[in-house]
Amino acid sequence: MSKRALITGVTGQDGSYLAEHLISQGYQVWGLTRGQANPRKDRVSRLIPELQFVDGDLMDQGSLVSAVDEVQPDEVYNLGAISFVPMSWHQPELVTEVNGTGVLRVLEAIRMVSGLNKPAASHATSGQIRFYQASSSEMFGMVAETPQSERTVFHPRSPYGVVKTYGHYITRNYRESYGMYGVSGILFNHESPRRGAEFVTRKISLAVAQIKLGLQEKLCLGNLDAVRDWGFAGDYVRAMHLMLQQDEPDDYVIGTGEMHSVRDAARIAFECVGLDWEQYVVVDPKLVRPAEVETLCADSSSARKKLGWEPEVDFSKLMQMMVESDLNQAQLARDYKAVLAGARW
Ligand code: NDP
Ligand code: GDR
């Protein structure tokens, strides 16, 4: 019998890669989607025809109970969130509802459908619905040590980071309170050609493509000195799956262990198309955050040892993959516009 998985956030970057990975492993996969005409549902459905859908919203407890009851999953991956950090200063209450209380609602849905009401000691983890929570390196914030491991103290610097820390601890608490098989992956930044255009790497790769084709003149960025540990999303979803295959639930840090600045990211991306980044990048102080996370770097030795996980794509290859993809798409769009401009109807 094939395993059944339910993914929240299936229309996002990670959700789509995870769905593809699980399907390649023989799973039946359902994605939770919200809204009455979500264009991102159509897009992921075209990309992954085998994917099935169930309605639901992290803001709506009843919809989550119904989704878990309908799908009867072996594994639930909670990737749904408002994931753009600056939004959490503009709409902190909404971000708390979706990214924080939303985690609690999924845990409650699993608890209710599985009938997990008794204290931890009375439950065996085998045969349970297994739960994955998308925790974040933003929880480390103002870092107490470099690199950061599962033992590093959290000091989040954004409402997003604070709320993710709640999601992290409530997952651990359900493990301790009810013996639930719940784990959190503390994932560092991961990117891909499917990354949202608001995040810095994709903002850069999209601009490089436009500038190369003469369609844009400048790229405005914020803090060029911010340092991140950037990996490839396709590598990171393998780690999510591995975490739920262990005998005992545990939390893991996932990252490459390599540090690069936003400046490095811009330089490498422009080099991919033979341009000098300094001719095009402009710093816009409005893009600098109220409280910044300056430096992040993962110590993933536990995941490498216990899960046997290794990233396969390094930072240069990642930036090259993103620039090539955006350049191809920009060229296609430009050619299509040229054809339309010349067409006689
Ligand atoms: P995306 O922003 O690409 O995707 C977010 C997903 O959340 C979308 O599918 C969106 O669906 C869904 N969503 C938003 N609000 C709700 C809601 N109210 N109910 C149900 N679903 C909702 O994020 P990523 O794929 O990059 O990240 C996945 C998860 O991992 C997130 O939780 C993020 O915070 C976390 N994370 C990401 C990292 C990264 O570097 N990518 C690193 C560490 C953690 P819709 O189409 O309906 O808007
Ligand atoms: P982050 O990713 O906030 O780390 O969150 P993002 O790509 O937005 O920012 C990374 C760093 O780049 C600096 N920066 C800019 N960022 C953006 N978006 N736009 C700019 O113009 C710009 N210029 C400089 C930022 O200040 C920051 O230091 C991502 C998300 O996926 C979260 O959901 C996830 O939890 C964390 O990664 C780990």
Within this chain, do residues 161 and 207 fall inside the same structural domain, yes or no?
Answer: no
Range of the domain at 328: 200-227+260-295+314-339
Within this chain, do residues 63 and 119 fall inside the same structural domain, yes or no?
Answer: yes
Tens digit of each residue's pLDDT (9 = 90 or more) over 234-255: 999 999 999 999 999 999 999 9
Tens digit of each residue's pLDDT (9 = 90 or more) over 266-296: 999 999 999 999 999 999 999 999 999 999 9
26 within domain boundaries: yes
Cβ-based neighbours of 344, under 8 Å, separated by 6 or more: none
Does the annotation mark 165 as catalytic?
A: yes
**73 cis-preceded (ω within 30 degrees of 0):** no
> Atom 1 in ligand 2: which residue has the minimum CA distance?
85
Q: Are strands 190-191 and 182-187 parallel, antiparallel or unpaired?
A: unpaired
**Residue 145 token pair:** 């040590």
Q: How far apart are CA 247 and CA 30, in angstroms?
A: 24
Catalytic residue from among 96, 152, 165, 201:
165
- Tell me the torsion sign for CA atoms 241, 242, 247, 248: negative
How far, in Å, from the CA of 139 to the mean position of ligand 2? Answer: 14
Phi, then psi, of 117 in degrees rounded to 5: -115, -15
122 within domain boundaries: yes
Within this chain, do residues 114 and 137 fall inside the same structural domain, yes or no?
Answer: yes
Q: What is the DSSP string of 272-315?
A: HTT--GGGTEEE-GGGS-SS---B--B--HHIIIII-------H
CATH code of the domain in which 207 resides: 3.90.25.10
CA angle 332, 333, 337 (to 5 degrees): 115
Q: Average of pLDDT values for 306-324?
A: 98
Tens digit of each residue's pLDDT (9 = 90 or more) over 115-151: 887 666 555 666 799 999 999 999 999 998 999 999 9
146 within domain boundaries: yes
Percent of the chain at pLDDT > 90 equals: 91
For the chain, what is the domain count? Answer: 2
19 lines ligand 1 (CB under 6 A): no
Within this chain, do residues 65 and 205 fall inside the same structural domain, yes or no?
Answer: no
Within this chain, do residues 15 and 73 fall inside the same structural domain, yes or no?
Answer: yes
305 within domain boundaries: no
Say which residue the tokens 């699980």 belong to: 22
Phi, then psi, of 201 in degrees rounded to 5: -65, -45
304 within domain boundaries: no
Q: Are strands 28-33 and 4-8 parallel, antiparallel or unpaired?
A: parallel
Question: Higher confidence at residue 217 or residue 344?
Answer: 217
